[in-house]
Amino acid sequence: MKKIIAIVLALSLVLALAACGGSGDDKTIKVGATPAPHAEILEVVKEILAEDGWTLEIVEFDDYVLPNTALSEGQLDANYFQHITYMNNFNVEYGIEMVSAAGIHYEPFGLYAGKTDSIDALADGARIAVPNDATNEARALLLLEQVGLITLAEGAGIDATKDDIVENPKNIEIVEMKAELLTTTLQDVDMAVINGNYAIGAGLKVADALAVEAADGAAAEAYVNVIAVMAGNENSEKIQALVKALMSEEVKNFIDETYAGAVVPMY
């Protein structure tokens, strides 16, 4: 009988501790993000959430794959680093089901000078670096088409690849590389089309770019940065609290004042 009572008491203690732990976890929101601008924006959000009793834990990543695998494995409640087109393509490639809880902002792509300081000065055979993941490479090619350096096959759109280049009068060499390497290798190529977050992190100003995507129209819609969660979690209390704080006037003002057009709120 004493053994039975001891076991019952032990189980009761374990359940009580588990309940306490669960209660604490329910007020913690764990979000993966790339350093700039996402983690910087989340630092502002952290203070807003704290006023309502939430603890925001920001986990920083330096690439575009690990934040999604961490989310799919249950290590994160959400992530905030990617645009919706990248997320949708990642779902297909990796067989997971992320959804957008909200579209937060848009980061215009920029064409930045490396060895060559103007588009007109590009020599025949000049090398232009672009991100090598499918969605962002297509976006980079569209920007190169926008400035007249190449022509893409009709209808290629956001699925464009190098194979869709039908006119290339300057014989531009498209150099594909990981997005996070574009800023560190900029001086090794004539120019590079760089993702907004990595440009910001490297101190590149959108005002200094040789060309920039327009922050309206189809591109803004296709490349809006989202709060990504696993399907079924988008309406949870903690995710709705996170979205509300991100879409606050305080965060909007921070974005406008800090990034000078390199990050554009979409709410």
- In this structure, the chain runs to a length of 267
Give pLDDT tens digits for 172-231: 999 999 999 999 999 999 999 999 989 999 999 999 999 998 766 677 889 999 999 999
Whether 2 shows a pLDDT value over 60: the answer reads no
**Cα separations in angstroms, 112 against 76, 109, 142, 177, 203:** 34, 10, 15, 15, 12
Give pLDDT tens digits for 152-172: 999 998 889 999 999 999 999
- Give the whole-angstrom CA distance, residue 113 versus residue 117: 5
β-pairing verdict for 225-230 and 110-113: unpaired
Whether 92 shows a pLDDT value over 70: the answer reads yes
Q: Prior bond to 37 cis, omega within 30? A: yes
Amino acid at 209: A
pLDDT in the model for residue 15: 36
Of the candidates 37, 34, 100, the residue with the CA atom closest to the CA atom of residue 65? 34
* Contact partners, residue 92, CB within 8 Å, separation at least 6: none
Whether 4 shows a pLDDT value over 60: the answer reads no
